[in-house]
Structure 1
Amino acid sequence: MTVSPCQSSCSTPCADPASSCRPNQDASIPRGPTPPPTTPHTLVGGHAAGPLLLSDTPLSFWGGVDAASGTVIDQTHPLVGASLGGAVLAIPRGRGSCSGSLVLLELVVAGRAPAALVLQDADQILALGAIVADAIFSRRIPVIVLGSRFASLPASGDVEIDDARLVVRSTGGSPRRVVAPLAPCLDTLRLSAADDALLAGARGPGVAQAMAINRSVAALYGAEAFVDITQVHLDGVFYTGPAGLRVVQHFAALGARVAVPTTLNALSVDLDNWRALGIDATLGLESTKLAEAYLAMGANEKSMTCAPYLLPSAPALGDQVAWGESNAVVFANSVLGARTQKYPDLLDLCIALTGRAPLAGVHVEANRAPTLALRLAPALAAVDDPLLYPLLGYFLGQAAGTRVPIVYGLEARHPAPSDLKALAAAFGTTSSSPMFHVEGVTPEAPRGRFPEPSGAALITPADLLGAWRTLNAGASGRTPVSVVALGNPHLALDEFEQLAALVEGKTRGGPRVLITAGRAITAQAEDAGYTAPLEGFGAEIIHDMCWCFVPRAGESGIVKTDDTHLVTNSAKYAHYGPGIVGRPVLLTNLAACVDAAVAGTVDVRPPPWLGAAAVEVQP
């Protein structure tokens, strides 16, 4: 396997120029783009050839690419509808979900993957999928980083890649362009005696193989050592296909056990009720096998939530942890002040089995300092609408890219846990960064720690209106609703309380109200008296699974063939949902979701606080 830490314009080898090579910049926050590395290099070596498929927009493989066919399903992406199979896919980087590694793994093993990935910036999530495909299944696709040379790629053509160079022949007979050398990189990783013992099989062959994968990816992060972690949250507990299941069963069959407390993400099904919910039997049975394999390795059977920060086991400020699931990673770093990279699915399992994580990125204090400063416009700072937070997170993620942003202008607000959850989930959907700061709100950005630079970029109502329009594309005026989809990420206790108050004295109309939530939080809500009003309203609470894993609309199941529109208060689900279930998903606030459940329609008009441009005459 050809995997090594990258060479770049930094003096220290690193895979992400926005993290590992950045000095502590508490006093000076750059506002321009972080420059990519200038030296082309390989993340995963190999040989490939195919037609060039180019986009300058980052792509999340999970939720953006169908794991069975290799077709782009992200309705907001320029490549939507394109087939990736056999093409050399050139994108700046991935974005959003930690589960892109699983989707790429499924595509490689099924023979429907791109022939190679050509990236502008290093992306460990996508690289991990290629590394596991090689390590477990002996299937390899190259993953190449071009840095500043990415901009020179033609719009179309043919590409050949080997371990030393990349050759592009443009459509139309233009002269070929050669990028060489594709530099192999020096391995600066120092292993402790305990690390060497794990590699040598001290805890069995499964842990030894996990440590070998861990070591390969640590090199991609530019880590010089590993760090002990206190807990892991495993993201890839949902079923993407047979390859992911085989990997987890492989480690379980070798007798591997987790080395630290380990929680599980949401599953693809409610383990107790998937048959009653009309979920396909194959999905139900395979998902159950996947959960059982993780439990056999010692994971917490009472977790199964995409919001582990709501559990009593949530980490504290400064704790070194290893979490998957993009919204959980962002919340842990930003709101709790714990330290975790945005770990790819299956690498989180390797870390759980070894108890060791690469000491790089935001595990390092200096790399947690903000590198992008933005201020909320005064008109937005005064808005009293919870819809502000998912729209802000969605826009902030787009603006940040790989950088760690800080937002000024919210210090007088006191966001509820659910507000910060919505912000973190939306940010994790559109960003490659693992964290943000909000001055005076998040724990590592008390007022005055990071002085606001003069001329910080302003976030305006027009910016958030753009996000609103993206997430409500194709609908206007009074629009019929079939399903009210709540709990992405899983519903928090304060959201249960808000919902109970909102439905009081109201009668549900035609739309079904479906809530996904963790069992532990539902039990708290029941004890507090919040679930009884919801049951009286006709809402249904679904456990273990999350909306992001609801299968495509069909004759039976949670979303049905004759359903029209879904409505949600989650920017994350409004982004991913249309591609996942094949139905439009509209975004509004929680109160309007309840009103839609009563009336059977939702008024798809931007709220007036989004500015004069939002006040439109709708049919």
Structure 2
Amino acid sequence: MKLTAEQEAMLAGERGETMAKVLETLVRYGDLYGADEMVSVTSKYNHLVTSFGLKALGPVYELMGKLIDEGAVSQTGFSVDPRPLDDNVPASFLQKIIFKHFMYSKQDFYEGQLRELGLMGDDAFTCTCYMDEVGNVPAAGDVLSWSESSAVVYANSVLGARCNRNSGIIDLMGSVCGFVPRFGLLTDDGRRADWVVEVRCERRPEAQLLGSAIGMRVMADVPYITGLDAWLGDELDGSAKAYLKDMGAACASNGAVGLYHVEGLTPEAREQGRALVREGARVYVIDDAELERVHASYPVVWKNADAKPKLCFMGCPHMSMEQLEQWSERIAQGLAEAGRTRVSVPCVFTAAPAVAKRFAATPAARVLDAAGVVVSSICPLMYMNNPLSAKMPVITNSNKLRTYSSARYYTDDEILDILTKGAR
């Protein structure tokens, strides 16, 4: 790998032994993927995935302590994934004991380390750091040192920034030294499409279901998606961004997609069009029947498939302001039609802290509260990541949460019927 004089000096220890090890880690990482050089991180902020104070992560806390002691902190500052705890989220007495005293007993300590390393602020805990309310919105062409698959795919695809699918700790290393290895989605060639996905549905496809189908078929390749203009139009407005957020999260979790292009809509597709598609690219046609096939393929991992749901999580990744407002309207209308006043299943809508605070000041927030819906900034995955929660019959409209937990996926309309009518 070709290094600049500045990077060679850093590697030789000019900025201390700890910083030399940080850069060496990134160089070795880049060598594994055939990187040709190190490039500067240009985003205003970075994003880390490790937000949870698991007792078992002793080596992580030791590493963080070394970085802090040596002054090897983030060059830019960063946001981080959601917290794993919220007392407002329904949980049994035993679950709360396990969460606080066994699983996440190091949460307060670890958050202190994150603040010393460069955390943007106490409201910077979210998987949707790119929301305007949060303030970590990279510009097109910015080079990032991010992880969190749903955030990376959004930044690459919807914002036109450049970032590989990094792991935890690698994201921090790039943020600390200010360089990342250049390969994959940081290169022009790595951003070209290997697949053309033709959406030929008669009705607007469920974002999470469409993303699941794409991810399972193309895996880690780059898809160029056509046919979505019928429902999304040609402007990246709030509605389109929310749709692509959820679609991308499913692409990234049900496959390993780090970038997709949507014809006529996403930045690079608007600029380059079909020139982004490689010669010989494969074609995948998605119609309503294909989406039904994909949906039917999901396994039900509940011990009792007919169990009554005990909890519903909405917002993985975190919901936008527009989604919270739309769902408050749908819940209110659905309850009125059913002659009910409260949802039939305890329900949690999740959103970034800054989004949740903004939403709390609106009449829509009072509608959800009256209906028995909790708005939280928790990470549903971290809530589900233990044997007690795994045994619960939890429902969700998130294909990411379905993939990584025992939660059962339902479409938006199905979720609404369950919540407002008690239907199954």
TM range, normalised to the smaller chain?
0.7 to 0.9
Query: Following superposition of structure 1 onto structure 2, how do residues 202-221 of structure 1 map, counting pairs within 5 Å?
Result: 202-221=14-33
Query: Following superposition of structure 1 onto structure 2, how do residues 111-510 of structure 1 map, counting pairs within 5 Å?
Result: 189-229=1-41, 230=43, 231-240=45-54, 241-242=56-57, 243-270=59-86, 278=96, 279-301=99-121, 302-310=123-131, 311-377=134-200, 380=201, 382-384=202-204, 388-414=206-232, 416-446=240-270, 449-450=273-274, 456-471=283-298, 473=300, 480-504=308-332, 506=335, 507-510=341-344
Deviation at 1:450, TM superposition (A): 0.4
Instruction: Give the secondary structure class of the aligned counterpart of 1:487.
Output: strand
Contact residue 239 and residue 245 of structure 1 kept, 8 A: no
More displaced 10-residue stretch of structure 1: 249-258 or 189-198 = 249-258
Cα separation, partners in 2 of 1:273 and 1:504, compared to 1, 3 Å: closer
Contact residue 373 and residue 405 of structure 1 kept, 8 A: yes
Distance 1:473 1:345 in 2: 30
Partner of 1:16: none
Cα separation, partners in 2 of 1:272 and 1:530, compared to 1, 3 Å: closer
Give, as a single letter, the amino acid of the residue that structure 1 aligns with 2:347.
V
Instruction: Give the secondary structure class of the aligned counterpart of 1:515.
Output: strand
Which of the pair has the greater relative contact order for Cα pairs under 8 Å at 6+ separation? 2
Partner of 2:236: none
Distance 1:522 1:211 in 2: 37
Partner of 1:615: none
Deviation at 1:553, TM superposition (A): 5.9
Distance 1:599 1:273 in 2: 22
Cα separation, partners in 2 of 1:205 and 1:529, compared to 1, 3 Å: farther
Contact residue 73 and residue 176 of structure 2 kept, 8 A: yes
Give, as a single letter, the amino acid of the residue that structure 1 aligns with 2:105.
L
Deviation at 1:591, TM superposition (A): 4.2
Distance 1:324 1:396 in 2: 21
Partner of 2:338: none
Distance 2:7 2:87 in 1: 37
Deviation at 1:420, TM superposition (A): 0.9
Counterpart among 500, 514, 537 of residue 348 in structure 2 = 514
Higher normalized helix content (fraction of residues): 2
Give a deviation string over 1:123-174, Cα, whole Å, max 9, x none.
Answer: xxxxxxxxxxxxxxxxxxxxxxxxxxxxxxxxxxxxxxxxxxxxxxxxxxxx
Give a deviation string over 1:215-267, Cα, whole Å, max 9, x none.
Answer: 11011121121111123211122245223333333323333211123111223
Contact residue 471 and residue 571 of structure 1 kept, 8 A: no
More displaced 10-residue stretch of structure 1: 327-336 or 425-434 = 425-434
Contact residue 517 and residue 546 of structure 1 kept, 8 A: no
Instruction: Give the secondary structure class of the aligned counterpart of 2:270.
Output: coil
Cα separation, partners in 2 of 1:526 and 1:413, compared to 1, 3 Å: same
Instruction: Give the secondary structure class of the aligned counterpart of 1:250.
Output: helix
Give, as a single letter, the amino acid of the residue that structure 2 aligns with 1:252.
I
Contact residue 73 and residue 118 of structure 2 kept, 8 A: yes
Give, as a single letter, the amino acid of the residue that structure 2 aligns with 1:503.
I
Distance 1:271 1:228 in 2: 41
Distance 1:338 1:423 in 2: 18
Distance 2:404 2:9 in 1: 42
Contact residue 249 and residue 290 of structure 1 kept, 8 A: no
Give, as a single letter, the amino acid of the residue that structure 2 aligns with 1:338.
A
Give, as a single letter, the amino acid of the residue that structure 1 aligns with 2:357.
A
Given the two structures, how large is their TM-score scaled by the length of structure 2?
Answer: 0.85
Cα separation, partners in 2 of 1:568 and 1:460, compared to 1, 3 Å: same
Deviation at 1:538, TM superposition (A): 1.2
Partner of 2:367: 533
Contact residue 254 and residue 399 of structure 2 kept, 8 A: no
Deviation at 1:522, TM superposition (A): 0.8
Cα separation, partners in 2 of 1:217 and 1:401, compared to 1, 3 Å: same
Instruction: Give the secondary structure class of the aligned counterpart of 1:434.
Output: coil
Question: Does 2:363 align with 1:547?
Answer: no
Deviation at 1:273, TM superposition (A): 8.7
Deviation at 1:211, TM superposition (A): 1.1
Distance 2:155 2:190 in 1: 15
Instruction: Give the secondary structure class of the aligned counterpart of 1:488.
Output: strand
Contact residue 410 and residue 440 of structure 1 kept, 8 A: no
Cα separation, partners in 2 of 1:553 and 1:225, compared to 1, 3 Å: closer
Instruction: Give the secondary structure class of the aligned counterpart of 1:490.
Output: strand
Distance 2:308 2:87 in 1: 31
Instruction: Give the secondary structure class of the aligned counterpart of 1:393.
Output: helix
Cα separation, partners in 2 of 1:274 and 1:262, compared to 1, 3 Å: farther
Give a deviation string over 1:477-515, Cα, whole Å, max 9, x none.
Answer: 976221111111111111111111112263224421112
Give a deviation string over 1:518-558, Cα, whole Å, max 9, x none.
Answer: 11111221234332211111111222x31111145677xxx
Partner of 1:102: none
Distance 1:397 1:273 in 2: 30
Instruction: Give the secondary structure class of the aligned counterpart of 2:319.
Output: coil
Give, as a single letter, the amino acid of the residue that structure 2 aligns with 1:546.
C
Contact residue 372 and residue 404 of structure 1 kept, 8 A: yes
List runs of 5+ in structure 1 lacking aligned partners.
1-188, 579-584, 603-619
Give, as a single letter, the amino acid of the residue that structure 2 aligns with 1:423.
M
Contact residue 89 and residue 348 of structure 2 kept, 8 A: no
Contact residue 152 and residue 163 of structure 2 kept, 8 A: yes
Question: Does 2:407 align with 1:595?
Answer: no
Question: Percentage identity across aligned positions?
Answer: 23
Deviation at 1:335, TM superposition (A): 1.1
Contact residue 271 and residue 288 of structure 1 kept, 8 A: no
Given the two structures, how large is their TM-score scaled by the length of structure 1?
Answer: 0.59
RMSD of aligned alpha carbons: 2.8
Cα separation, partners in 2 of 1:601 and 1:273, compared to 1, 3 Å: closer
